[in-house]
């Protein structure tokens, strides 16, 4: 094993205890580099990359006395706590753990990181601090394989140490959140898994419930605040909560944001879940258009996901199967959030098509961690204690629609087009065929009006029509007066098809009940509804034939009647 060792502590070095906040003078660094050149010894070039990869000492502080091997390789699988519905695993092979590793968090090290990934695999090296303390580790979870352009995958496991003012601010936010909801925390958790989780299953249920039951303060304050805040909207739907809600949603949201701003210094899956949930807070009544904050928060979630490596497919990695499933689930939630948040203001998505290789989501990825063990039953309602196929099907279809949306955006809505006209039209035609088949192929349990046993399907179906709007706008572009008068224009070619297709939207709105509107629709639903309503106006104003004008007017009239029937309810 090669050793890269710094010598005695330089008198110019002012080392601050704690994982972050280490400062060194330029002179100290110069002396350390000179010492490094004198003491470095290298061997084991070309060694087996499956061995402990590279351990870095000196990046931040860990308590002394921890053996290097324990911090490099996790010999026991880091699993959600007992009773979770995780697939049986082969425990004969050691797994690296990227989550639930005490006071450390894992940061993704991409191919353009400060050290070359092939170099890290080729050398089995140690970097020792001046005091021979273990500060951070670099672990390799995949050797990269033999494919062209593939590279080893490494993560930096860094101890989380923060200044007192940061810790105090997070603690203050946490205390305020728990004080405001006490003694209704468990009731709010039940409401969350009854109303939000079936529509937006991004929280790993048993993992969250186990941590909450054992010590809720071990969960990030931002995540607890987000769960409580989203759940409190449904306070009046719990017969056990007879008194008025003792707090306002915005009070919890403010504290959750305050905590999250500091917690993201050490990102992990729990904190990413908080990023995603806080985006769906009920907007103020005074808002008439979507706030730019939606877009800013989507970029925050994307950055957090990339920082912990969710944009890379975890399939071949040497990590626990449950981590692979949860990482995939969260990546596709981030992907969908990026797409729909971009649409709110017509911005280009943050996630480029060539910036990730995470494989498609499966039912198995959504099935894990859904069956609640008996000792946690008190935190969920009886109907929410087991995996429900409809919930996973709903999530899969939502991701599929987001992928179709992204295809449409890439074909016709980029600032700098990447396709020639013929190629873009072919791509749009494929998307059209896919969307035409969707109502026939989607499971019956996901349709609206299929019975009160499936009250969570409105948001999915609304998003389908919003994707259709953007498809037809792309197919009919440019929507100009000249195109309206030209029978050979794209507008004229596709107008009747669009008009016929959107008759089903008017029927969908007619089937929405006031009870449906009391469910969880998510923050993007309002933008999607506006897209659809504006498209009806678009069709009416661009109709040129008398029969088309009459048909478009009838659609507008039916839509208006649905809105009048729903009254003051809001999505």
Residue length, the chain? 571
Q: Are strands 136-142 and 153-159 parallel, antiparallel or unpaired?
A: antiparallel
Exposed e or buried b per residue across 487-501, where buried means at least 16 C-beta atoms within 10 angstroms of its C-beta: eebbbbebbeebbeb
Rounded to whole angstroms, what are the CA distances from 65 to 75, 383, 393, 502?
18, 49, 49, 68
Exposed e or buried b per residue across 451-477, where buried means at least 16 C-beta atoms within 10 angstroms of its C-beta: eeebbbbbbbbbbbbbbbbbbbbbbbb
Residue 369 CA to residue 387 CA, distance in Å, equals 8
Q: Note the maximum CA span of the chain.
A: 89
Which residues sit opposite 54 in a β-bridge?
138
Taking each continuous run of H as one helix and of E as one strand, the counts in the chain are 21, 6
Q: Starting from the edge strand earliest in sequence, which strands make up the sheet with 2-5, in order?
A: 2-5, 125-128, 54-56, 136-142, 153-159, 104-109
Return the number of other C-beta atoms located less than 10 Å from residue 136's C-beta.
21
Return the number of other C-beta atoms located less than 10 Å from residue 181's C-beta.
25
Angle between helices 524-542 and 321-345 (to 10 degrees): 40
State the DSSP code for 377: G
Which tokens belong to 132?
């021979």
Residue 481 CA to residue 542 CA, distance in Å, equals 8
Asked whether the beta carbons of 47 and 124 are under 8 A apart, the reply is yes
Sorted by sequence, the CB contacts under 8 Å of residue 246 that are 6+ apart come out as 180, 184
DSSP 156-183: EEEE----HHHHHHHHHHHHHHHHHHTT
Asked whether the beta carbons of 396 and 441 are under 8 A apart, the reply is no
Residue 356 CA to residue 472 CA, distance in Å, equals 28
Asked whether the beta carbons of 229 and 248 are under 8 A apart, the reply is no
Residue 36 CA to residue 48 CA, distance in Å, equals 25
Return the number of other C-beta atoms located less than 10 Å from residue 353's C-beta.
10
Return the number of other C-beta atoms located less than 10 Å from residue 50's C-beta.
10
Residue 562 CA to residue 508 CA, distance in Å, equals 10
Residue ranges per structural domain of the chain:
2-161, 162-384, 388-571
Which of 502, 504, 501, 506 shows the shortest CA–CA distance to 560? 506
Which tokens belong to 474?
């792309």
Return the number of other C-beta atoms located less than 10 Å from residue 334's C-beta.
27
DSSP 183-202: T-HHHHHHHHHHHTTTT---
Asked whether the beta carbons of 138 and 71 are under 8 A apart, the reply is no
Sorted by sequence, the CB contacts under 8 Å of residue 370 that are 6+ apart come out as 85, 205, 206, 386, 387, 388, 391
Residue ranges of the alpha helices (H) in 21-116?
Answer: 26-39, 68-72
The helix or strand, by DSSP H or E, that contains position 138, with its residue range, turns out to be: strand 136-142
CA atoms within 13 Å, Cβ hemisphere of 563: 12
> 404 exposed, middle or buried (CB, 10 Å; 0-12, 13-18, 19+)?
buried
SS3 for 482?
Answer: helix
Tens-digit pLDDT profile for the chain (571 aa)? 333 333 334 433 433 334 444 334 444 444 444 444 333 333 333 334 333 333 333 333 333 333 333 333 443 334 444 444 444 444 455 688 999 988 889 999 888 887 788 877 776 544 455 565 656 788 889 888 766 667 899 898 888 889 999 999 999 999 999 999 999 999 999 999 999 999 999 999 999 999 999 999 999 999 999 999 999 999 999 999 999 999 999 999 999 999 999 999 999 999 999 999 999 999 887 776 788 999 999 999 999 999 999 999 999 999 999 999 999 999 999 999 999 999 999 999 999 999 999 999 999 999 999 999 999 999 999 999 999 999 999 999 999 999 999 999 999 999 998 888 899 999 999 999 999 999 999 998 998 875 556 679 999 999 999 999 999 999 999 999 999 999 999 999 999 999 999 999 999 999 998 888 899 999 999 999 999 999 999 999 999 999 999 999 999 999 999 999 987 566 5
Which of 312, 313, 311, 318 shows the shortest CA–CA distance to 335? 311
Model confidence, pTM: 0.85
């Amino acid at each position: 094993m090669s050793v890269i060792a710094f010598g005695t502590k330089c008198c110019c070095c002012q080392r601050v205890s704690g994982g972050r906040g280490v400062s060194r003078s330029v002179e100290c660094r110069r002396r350390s580099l000179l010492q490094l050149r004198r003491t470095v010894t290298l061997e084991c070039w070309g060694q087996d990359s499956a061995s402990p990869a590279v351990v870095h000492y000196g990046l931040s502080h860990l308590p002394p006395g921890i053996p290097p091997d324990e911090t490099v390789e996790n010999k026991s699988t880091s699993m959600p706590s007992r009773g979770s519905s995780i697939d049986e695993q082969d425990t004969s092979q050691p797994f690296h753990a990227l989550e639930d590793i005490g006071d450390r968090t894992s940061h993704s090290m991409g191919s353009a990181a400060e050290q070359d990934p092939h170099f890290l695999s080729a050398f089995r090296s140690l970097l020792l601090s001046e005091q021979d303390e273990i500060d951070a580790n670099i672990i390799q979870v995949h050797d990269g394989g033999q494919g062209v352009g593939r590279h080893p995958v490494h993560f930096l496991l860094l101890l989380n140490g923060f200044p007192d003012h940061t810790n105090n601010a997070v603690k203050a936010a946490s205390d305020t959140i728990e004080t405001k909801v006490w003694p209704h925390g468990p009731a709010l958790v039940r409401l969350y898994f009854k109303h939000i989780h079936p529509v937006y299953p991004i929280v790993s249920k048993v993992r969250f419930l186990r941590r909450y039951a054992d010590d809720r303060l071990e969960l990030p304050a931002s995540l607890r605040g987000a769960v409580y805040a989203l759940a409190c909207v449904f306070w009046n739907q719990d017969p056990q909560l007879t008194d008025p809600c003792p707090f306002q949603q915005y009070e919890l949201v403010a504290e959750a944001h305050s905590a999250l701003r500091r917690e993201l210094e050490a990102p992990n899956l729990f904190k990413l879940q908080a990023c995603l949930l806080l985006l769906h807070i009920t907007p103020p009544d005074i808002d008439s258009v979507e706030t730019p904050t939606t877009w800013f928060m989507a970029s925050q979630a994307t950055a957090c996901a990339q920082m912990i490596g969710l944009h890379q497919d975890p399939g071949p990695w040497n990590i626990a199967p449950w981590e692979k499933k949860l990482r995939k689930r969260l990546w596709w939630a981030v992907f969908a959030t990026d797409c729909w948040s971009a649409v709110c203001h017509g911005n280009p998505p943050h996630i480029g098509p060539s910036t990730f290789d995470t494989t498609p989501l499966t039912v198995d990825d959504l099935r894990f961690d859904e069956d609640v063990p008996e000792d946690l039953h008190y935190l969920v309602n009886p109907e929410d204690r087991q995996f429900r196929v409809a919930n996973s099907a709903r999530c899969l279809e939502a991701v599929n629609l987001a992928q179709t949306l992204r295809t449409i955006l890439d074909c016709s809505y980029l600032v700098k087009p990447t396709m020639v006209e013929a190629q873009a039209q072919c791509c749009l035609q494929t998307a059209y065929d896919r969307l035409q088949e969707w109502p026939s192929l989607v499971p019956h349990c996901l349709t609206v009006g299929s019975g009160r046993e499936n009250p969570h399907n409105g948001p999915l179906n609304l998003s389908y029509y919003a994707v259709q709007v953007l498809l037809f706008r792309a197919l009919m572009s440019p929507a100009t007066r000249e195109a309206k008068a030209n029978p050979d224009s794209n507008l004229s070619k596709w107008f009747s098809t669009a008009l016929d297709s959107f008759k089903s939207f008017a029927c969908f709105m007619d089937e929405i009940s006031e009870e449906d509107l009391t469910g969880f629709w998510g923050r993007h639903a309002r933008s999607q509804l506006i897209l659809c309503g504006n498209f009806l106006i678009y069709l009416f104003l661009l109709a040129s034939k008398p029969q088309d004008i009459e048909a478009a007017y009838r659609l507008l009239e039916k839509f208006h009647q649905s809105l009048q029937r729903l009254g003051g309810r809001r999505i």
